[in-house]
Structure 1
Amino acid sequence: MGRAFVYVILGGGVAAGYAALEFTRKGVAPGELCIISEEPVAPYERPALSKGYLLPEAPSRLPSFHTCVGANEERLSPKWYKEHGIELVLGTRVISADVRRKTLLTAAGETITFKFLIIATGARALKLEEFGVTGSDAPNVCYLRNLADANRLVDVMGSRSGGNAVVIGGGYIGMECAASLVINKMNVTMVFPEPHCMARLFSPRIAAYYEEFYKSKGVQFVKGTVLSSFDFDSDGQVRKDLVCCIAIQTYVLD
């Protein structure tokens, strides 16, 4: 047996949370709306993961950044969804969708039917292997895209205070990760292919200002080049005491 809803939002990210708030404003009835998410938590403001979440003092934790605090709206906790009759199907991956029959099949074998489907799966970070580099599974190689990634990075930073870290990527996430690593007393080197940081937004002059500020905090820059390989130790880790944070700014739809 499966479940049936009028509206199903596939994906539990920022878009899903804001859409849920708008649905309630438009008068959706209890039991009509369902959100399906592979993550085990209700929708949250993803940008917080590269900001307050990584800080060592008074770090930001859920429920403080559930949507929709990004627009100074209500904080949509699991209790809020329950009170509004919105079903949260969390920790669930949808493996197929039949748009003609209006059904979704989950990895657990459940069928969920809908009248209207909103696809809000967002994107995922590109893996190193997609660039011909191995090492994603190393214990001290971290990506930053979701809550689980952020928790892993926090744990790795905590176990290697005073060590060395390489941030791959020079965009927003890379710059914010570098700042957090420095605050966590790590020695940081940033590597990216562009001629300067934040190349999509910053002019060379503005980028130079920020790079000089980061350098004053001990950050080193290796620009105009790409990672080609890692040096692994006998435990399968990237060279001892070296933490690699992957902040590649190109994403593909999940």
Structure 2
Amino acid sequence: MKIVVVGCTHAGTAAVVNMKELYPESEISIYEKNDNISFLSCGIALSVSSVVDDPNKLFYNSPENLNTLGIKTNMKHEVLDIDFDDKKLAVKNLLSGEIFEDTYDKLVITLGSWPIVPKFEGGQLENIVLCKNYDHAKSIIEKSEDAKNVVVIGGGYIGVELVEAFEMKGKNVTLIDAEDRIMAKYLDKQFTDIAEEAFKNKGVNVVLGEKVQKFEGENNKVSKVITDKGTYQGDLVVLCIGFAPNTNLVKGKIDTLPNGAIIIDEYMRTSKEDVFAAGDCCVVRFNPANENRYIPLATNAVRMGTLVAKNLVNPTLKYMGTQGTSGIKIYEYNIASTGLTEDVAKNTTSYNVDSVIVTDNYRPEFMPSFEEATLKLVFDKDSRKILGGQIISKIDLTQFMNTLSVVIQNEMTIEALAMTDFFFQPHFNKPWSILNIAALKAL
């Protein structure tokens, strides 16, 4: 069996490692435009702040390692075209310029995503950088050494992590977002207010509800960011506006959403026979809303890549969908969320949405120390099903959102969660888990 994998970051790496284990006699070839694989872009901010002292540590696999497994790993090779009917690919060696043809029995598309880059006036100026891959990481670290005023555009997870990292390095930092809250996709206002206040207390200029219009510069280097409401100094600008599926290669040839995300079934199969897809180039089944959505997360990618291998020959293991569970640490605050926020649920679904918030100390007050935690549950008043949750505390209680992810995936109700069995031990918690307490309040 001849397998070709196009693109190889998280989903592609998971797919090839598992395919080689399941089908050791198969011939597997990877075509990847970059010269590296498996870079954890979520660690770029840690590298900027020197929490991780070397960005090279953010790789968990390598072309050399895959080669030792018998996987033909072609770095700096770009697939120019795919003929799905005849199972052929046109490939360009980016080092030599040679263009050649290859064939496949099974094709795995793991093209990933790419940062959204609007066409701003002045966008060609130097020191305006993206934040996605290893080359971007090196560029950000290098350019930030001499930068004094840093502007981060985009208040999602990557943007806010970079803001913290730059502030820790002593830079004058401005965060700009068109939304009126940071991390609005993941957290409701009660939680984003705390995060925004933490940034302001550190001297970060948090600019919300403003749209970037253009950049101005001196000597071909950026020096100012102009929005529809103000002007901000910036000799380094990082664009963190969001991500889109990197699927121009298959546009019009395979079924996709309007945004280009490849549509797959529960076995990772595309609309073309013997063609599978996984990771950030695909739709995911978003369980809380019971619909397909585009949610690019590394956790989704590695699961989906593994499922490609399991279902390559026969449909064997179904994709269970996702709750979009995620977490972030901002200064002393540990924050996590899963499923739908109240705001997103009310604006994008037909649910009869309700929510409760509880604030309690995470363990008994007779213990030598204890910290306050705030947890929110979002649920449907009609079906009683839990739709989402968020937690914030100075002690790490983020694993509660992993538990709640399982609750949502299994369509549990408020009543069921209220009486679910969780252990009690004074070192760790109270007789009623904070999840129980929130569900009881909802009752």
Give the aligned partner of residue 189 of structure 1.
Answer: 174
Alignment of 1:63-102 (within 5 A): 64-67=57-60, 76-102=61-87
> What TM-score do you get using the length of structure 1 for normalisation?
0.85
Give the aligned partner of residue 202 of structure 2.
Answer: 217
Give the aligned partner of residue 199 of structure 1.
Answer: 184
Give the aligned partner of residue 220 of structure 2.
Answer: 236
Q: Distance in 2 between matches of 1:66 and 1:230?
A: 33
Q: Distance in 1 between matches of 2:64 and 2:84?
A: 31
Letter of the aligned partner of 2:111 in structure 1?
T
SS in 2 for 1:231: strand
Q: Distance in 1 between matches of 2:16 and 2:206?
A: 42
Give the aligned partner of residue 253 of structure 1.
Answer: 246
Q: Distance in 1 between matches of 2:59 and 2:52?
A: 17
> Post-superposition shift, 1:58?
4.5
> Post-superposition shift, 1:11?
0.6
Structure with more contact order per residue of length (Cα contacts < 8 Å, sep ≥ 6):
1
Q: Are the structure 2 counterparts of residues 83 and 252 from structure 1 closer, same or farther at C-alpha, using a change threshold of 3 Å?
A: closer
Q: Distance in 1 between matches of 2:138 and 2:58?
A: 15
Alignment deviations for residues 165-186 of structure 1 (CA, whole Å, 9 cap, x no partner): 1110000111011111112221
Q: Are the structure 2 counterparts of residues 59 and 137 from structure 1 closer, same or farther at C-alpha, using a change threshold of 3 Å?
A: farther
Letter of the aligned partner of 2:41 in structure 1?
R
For the pair 1:59 / 2:53, whether they are aligned, the reply is: yes
Alpha carbons 1:42, 1:88 under 8 Å: kept: no
Give the aligned partner of residue 11 of structure 1.
Answer: 7
Q: Are the structure 2 counterparts of residues 24 and 150 from structure 1 closer, same or farther at C-alpha, using a change threshold of 3 Å?
A: same
SS in 2 for 1:16: helix
> Post-superposition shift, 1:57?
5.6
Alpha carbons 1:45, 1:66 under 8 Å: kept: yes
Give the aligned partner of residue 118 of structure 2.
Answer: 128
Letter of the aligned partner of 2:135 in structure 1?
A
Q: Distance in 2 between matches of 1:187 and 1:109?
A: 47
For the pair 1:142 / 2:126, whether they are aligned, the reply is: no
Give the aligned partner of residue 18 of structure 2.
Answer: 22
Alpha carbons 1:14, 1:46 under 8 Å: kept: no
Alpha carbons 2:40, 2:58 under 8 Å: kept: yes
Give the aligned partner of residue 40 of structure 2.
Answer: 45
Q: Are the structure 2 counterparts of residues 6 and 46 from structure 1 closer, same or farther at C-alpha, using a change threshold of 3 Å?
A: farther
For the pair 1:156 / 2:143, whether they are aligned, the reply is: yes
Letter of the aligned partner of 1:156 in structure 2?
K
> What TM-score do you get using the length of structure 2 for normalisation?
0.50
Q: Are the structure 2 counterparts of residues 20 and 77 from structure 1 closer, same or farther at C-alpha, using a change threshold of 3 Å?
A: same
Structure number with greater Rg is: 2
Q: Distance in 2 between matches of 1:166 and 1:101?
A: 49
SS in 1 for 2:4: strand
Give the aligned partner of residue 116 of structure 1.
Answer: 106
SS in 2 for 1:93: strand
Q: Distance in 1 between matches of 2:76 and 2:121?
A: 28
CA RMSD, 1 decimal:
1.9
Q: Distance in 1 between matches of 2:71 and 2:38?
A: 13
> Post-superposition shift, 1:128?
2.7
Aligned to 1:169, which of 126, 146, 154?
A: 154
SS in 2 for 1:59: coil
Q: Distance in 2 between matches of 1:29 and 1:138?
A: 50
Give the aligned partner of residue 35 of structure 1.
Answer: 30
Aligned to 2:211, which of 210, 220, 226?
A: 226
Give the aligned partner of residue 386 of structure 2.
Answer: none
Runs of 4+ with >4 A deviation: none
Q: Any unmatched runs of 5+ in structure 1?
A: 68-75
Q: Are the structure 2 counterparts of residues 252 and 226 from structure 1 closer, same or farther at C-alpha, using a change threshold of 3 Å?
A: farther
